C-alpha cells in the first residue's frame, strides 16, 4: 500500500472513530438530561397534584358518604387535576384510574413514602414514566397518587438525533476522506519524484537530480540525495576517465608489443621453415636478439612506471644535490663520449628531501632525451639553482602542438627516429610521474630546430 493511502486511511479512521464516539457521548448525555428533566417535571406535577388532592380530601370529608357518592366525589376531584395522567389508590385499592393503563400492583410499597419514587418502564416499545407518592395527611385513610406518563416521544427524538448525527458523521467523513487523500498525496508527491530520480540514476542516467524544493524533511532529504548524486557522478566520471586513460595506454602498449613481436615471430618462423644463406641466418638471429632487447627495455620501463603507480616504498631522504648531479654525470659519461657531446653542469641547491634513486632516474632520462635530440658535438646543460632544475639541449626540438602530449605513455614525436635510438615512448611519462611524486611539475619548453629545455620546479 502506498504511503499516502496508508496515511489517509489511518487519519480517516481515527477521525471517524473520534467523531462517532464523541457524537455518541453527546447523545447519551442529552438523553440522560432529557430523562431527568421529564422525571423532574413529572415529580413537580405529582407533588403539586398530591398537595391539591390532599386538600380536597382532608378533614374526613368523605366520612359517612355512601360508596357511590364517595366514588363520584373522588372522580370529580381527580378530573380537576388532569385525571388522564393520575391513578389514585386508597388503602392499596385503586379508587380512580382514568389513564389508559392498568396498575398491576396497587399494594406496591414504593409509593407509600412522602418522597416521589420514579421509574421508567418499557412495555413493548412504549416507554412509560411511573412516579408515585403518598398523599399527605388525609386522615386515617391512606391515599397514594401515581403519575403514569407515556414518554416514548422522548426516545423517538433521541433516535432521530442518532440518525441525523450518523448521516452527518458519514457525509463529513466522506468529504474529509476526499480532502485528506488529496492533501496527503500532494504532500507526499515529492517522495514520488525522489523515487523516480533514484530509479533513473540507478538506471544509468547520472545527470538526473530530484526536482524537489519543499522546505520540509522531504526537501532536506532531496537536497542530501542530490548532493549524493553529485558525488557519485563525479566519481563515476573520474573512474571512467581513469579507465579510458588505462585503455588508451593498453592500446599503445599492445601496439608497442606487436611491432617487435611481428619481427621476432617472423624471423624465428623464417629460421624454422625457410632455407636461408648463412649470412641471412645470422641477420635473422641478430634481429631477434635486437627486438627481444627492445621488449626487455620496454618491460623494465613499464615495471618502474607501474611501481610508481602502486608502490609506497618511496623513500624520501635528505640528499646533497651536488653529489647527485656528479653521480648522474658520471653515469652518462659513456653515452656523452660516444656522441661527442659536452655536458655542462652547475649546482647551488644544497640538500633537498627526495627519493635518491627515483630522482637519479629522472635526471638520467632527461639527459638521455637531450643526447638523443642532439647532434654530435653539441652542448647540453644541467643547472640546479634555488628550487629549479633545468636540462637544456640545442637539439631538434619538439613541435609546439605536440609538447602537451609528450608526457603521455607511448607517445613519440618521431617514431622512426625514436625507435632507432632505442626509445619506447615511456621516458617522459616516467619523468613526469616521478616529478609528481616529489610534488613538482615538469615544464617543457621547446622550439623546433633550436632545442628543448625541461624544468623541474621543486
Partner 1 sequence: MKTNDFIKATAKILVIEDDASISELICMNLEAAGYKTTAIMDGDAAEAFLRQTGREEIALALVDVMLPGKDGFSLMEDLQKAEIPVIYLTAKDDVISKVHGLKAGAEDYIVKPFEVLELLVRMEKVLKRTGRARTRIQVRDVIIDLKEHSVTKGGEKVSLKPMEYELLVTLASSKNVAFSREELLNRIWGCDYMGETRTVDVHIGQLRKKLDFYDVIRTISKTGYRLEDLD
Question: Footprint of partner 1 on this chain (CB under 8 A)?
Answer: 255, 258-259, 261-263, 265-267, 269-270, 272-277, 280, 283-284, 287, 290-291, 414-416, 419
CB 266 to partner 1: min, Å: 4
CB 398 to partner 1: min, Å: 17
CB 422 to partner 1: min, Å: 13
CB 284 to partner 1: min, Å: 7
| Distance, CA of 369 to CA of 384 (rounded, Å) | 18
One DSSP character per residue, 142-205 reads -EEEEEEEE-HHHHHHHHHHHHHHHHHHHHHHHHHHHHHHHHHHHHHHHHHHHHHHHHHHHTT-
Nearer to partner 1, 17 or 285 (CB): 285
CB 267 to partner 1: min, Å: 6
CB 204 to partner 1: min, Å: 27
Nearer to partner 1, 247 or 415 (CB): 415
Nearer to partner 1, 231 or 293 (CB): 293
Helix 278-310 and helix 217-273: axis angle, to 10°?
160
Nearer to partner 1, 274 or 400 (CB): 274
User: Could you tell me whether strands 379-385 and 342-348 are parallel, antiparallel, or unpaired per DSSP bridges?
Assistant: parallel
User: Could you tell me whether strands 86-90 and 451-457 are parallel, antiparallel, or unpaired per DSSP bridges?
Assistant: unpaired
HSE on the CB side for 67, CA within 13 Å? 1
H or E element: which one contains 32?
Answer: helix 3-57
Residues whose CB falls within 8 Å of the CB of residue 363, separated by 6 or more in sequence, listed in order: 324, 325, 328, 382, 389, 391
Q: Sign of torsion, CA 227 230 234 235?
A: positive
Nearer to partner 1, 76 or 289 (CB): 289
CB 448 to partner 1: min, Å: 16
356, 317 in Cβ contact below 8 A?
yes
CB 344 to partner 1: min, Å: 33
Q: Tell which phi-psi region holds residue 139, choosing left (phi > 0), alpha (psi between -120 and 50) or beta.
A: left
Q: Tell which phi-psi region holds residue 395, choosing left (phi > 0), alpha (psi between -120 and 50) or beta.
A: beta
Cell of 452: 628543448
Nearer to partner 1, 398 or 433 (CB): 398
HEC assignment per residue over 109-128: HHHHCCCCEEEEEEECCEEE
Nearer to partner 1, 267 or 325 (CB): 267
User: Could you tell me whether strands 351-354 and 388-392 are parallel, antiparallel, or unpaired per DSSP bridges?
Assistant: unpaired
Which of helix, strand or coil describes residue 228?
helix
Q: Sign of torsion, CA 263 417 309 319?
A: positive
Bridge partners of residue 117, in order along the sequence: 132
Nearer to partner 1, 368 or 414 (CB): 414
Which of helix, strand or coil describes residue 13?
helix
Nearer to partner 1, 21 or 276 (CB): 276
Nearer to partner 1, 60 or 399 (CB): 399
Nearer to partner 1, 235 or 254 (CB): 254
CB 300 to partner 1: min, Å: 21
CB 194 to partner 1: min, Å: 45
CB 302 to partner 1: min, Å: 19
Which one, of 439, 442, 445, lies nearest residue 427 by Cα? 442
451, 372 in Cβ contact below 8 A?
no
Amino acid at each position: 500500500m502506498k504511503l499516502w493511502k496508508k496515511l489517509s486511511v489511518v487519519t480517516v479512521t481515527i477521525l471517524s472513530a473520534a467523531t462517532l464516539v464523541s457524537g455518541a457521548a453527546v447523545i447519551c448525555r442529552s438523553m440522560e438530561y432529557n430523562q431527568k428533566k421529564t422525571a423532574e417535571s413529572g415529580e413537580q406535577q405529582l407533588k403539586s397534584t398530591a398537595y391539591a388532592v390532599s386538600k380536597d380530601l382532608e378533614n374526613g370529608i368523605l366520612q359517612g358518604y355512601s360508596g357511590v357518592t364517595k366514588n363520584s366525589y373522588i372522580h370529580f376531584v381527580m378530573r380537576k387535576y388532569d385525571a388522564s395522567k393520575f391513578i389514585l389508590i386508597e388503602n392499596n385499592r385503586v379508587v380512580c384510574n382514568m389513564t389508559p393503563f392498568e396498575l398491576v400492583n396497587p399494594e406496591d410499597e414504593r409509593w407509600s413514602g412522602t418522597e416521589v419514587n420514579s421509574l421508567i418502564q418499557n412495555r413493548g416499545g412504549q416507554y412509560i414514566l411511573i412516579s408515585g407518592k403518598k398523599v399527605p395527611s388525609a386522615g386515617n385513610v391512606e391515599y397514594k397518587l401515581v403519575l403514569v406518563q407515556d414518554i416514548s416521544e422522548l426516545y423517538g427524538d433521541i433516535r432521530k438525533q442518532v440518525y441525523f448525527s450518523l448521516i452527518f458523521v458519514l457525509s463529513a467523513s466522506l468529504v474529509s476522506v476526499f480532502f485528506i487523500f488529496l492533501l496527503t498525496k500532494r504532500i507526499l508527491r515529492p517522495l514520488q519524484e525522489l523515487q523516480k530520480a533514484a530509479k533513473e540514476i540507478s538506471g544509468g542516467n547520472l545527470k538526473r537530480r530530484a526536482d524537489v524544493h519543499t522546505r520540509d524533511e522531504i526537501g532536506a532529504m532531496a537536497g542530501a540525495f542530490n548532493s549524493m548524486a553529485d558525488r557519485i557522478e563525479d566519481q563515476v566520471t573520474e573512474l571512467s576517465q581513469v579507465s579510458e586513460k588505462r585503455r588508451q595506454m593498453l592500446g599503445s602498449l599492445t601496439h608497442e608489443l606487436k611491432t617487435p613481436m611481428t619481427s621476432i615471430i617472423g624471423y624465428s618462423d623464417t629460421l624454422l621453415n625457410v632455407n636461408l644463406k648463412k649470412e641471412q641466418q645470422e641477420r635473422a638471429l641478430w634481429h631477434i636478439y635486437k627486438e627481444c632487447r627492445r621488449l626487455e627495455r620496454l618491460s623494465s620501463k613499464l615495471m618502474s612506471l607501474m611501481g610508481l603507480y602502486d608502490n609506497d616504498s618511496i623513500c624520501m631522504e635528505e640528499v646533497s644535490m651536488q653529489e647527485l648531479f656528479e653521480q648522474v654525470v658520471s653515469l652518462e659519461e659513456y653515452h656523452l663520449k660516444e656522441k661527442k657531446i659536452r655536458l655542462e653542469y652547475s649546482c647551488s641547491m644544497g640538500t633537498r628531501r627526495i627519493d635518491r634513486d627515483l630522482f637519479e632516474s629522472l635526471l638520467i632520462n632527461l639527459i638521455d632525451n637531450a643526447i638523443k635530440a642532439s647532434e654530435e658535438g653539441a652542448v647540453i646543460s644541467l643547472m640546479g639553482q634555488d628550487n629549479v632544475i633545468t636540462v637544456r639541449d640545442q637539439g631538434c626540438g619538439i613541435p609546439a602542438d605536440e609538447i602537451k602530449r609528450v608526457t603521455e605513455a607511448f607517445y613519440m614525436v618521431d617514431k622512426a627516429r625514436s625507435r632507432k635510438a632505442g626509445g619506447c615512448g615511456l621516458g617522459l611519462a616516467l619523468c613526469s610521474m616521478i616529478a609528481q611524486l616529489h610534488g613538482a611539475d615538469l615544464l617543457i619548453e621547446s622550439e623546433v630546430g633550436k632545442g628543448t629545455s625541461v624544468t623541474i620546479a621543486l
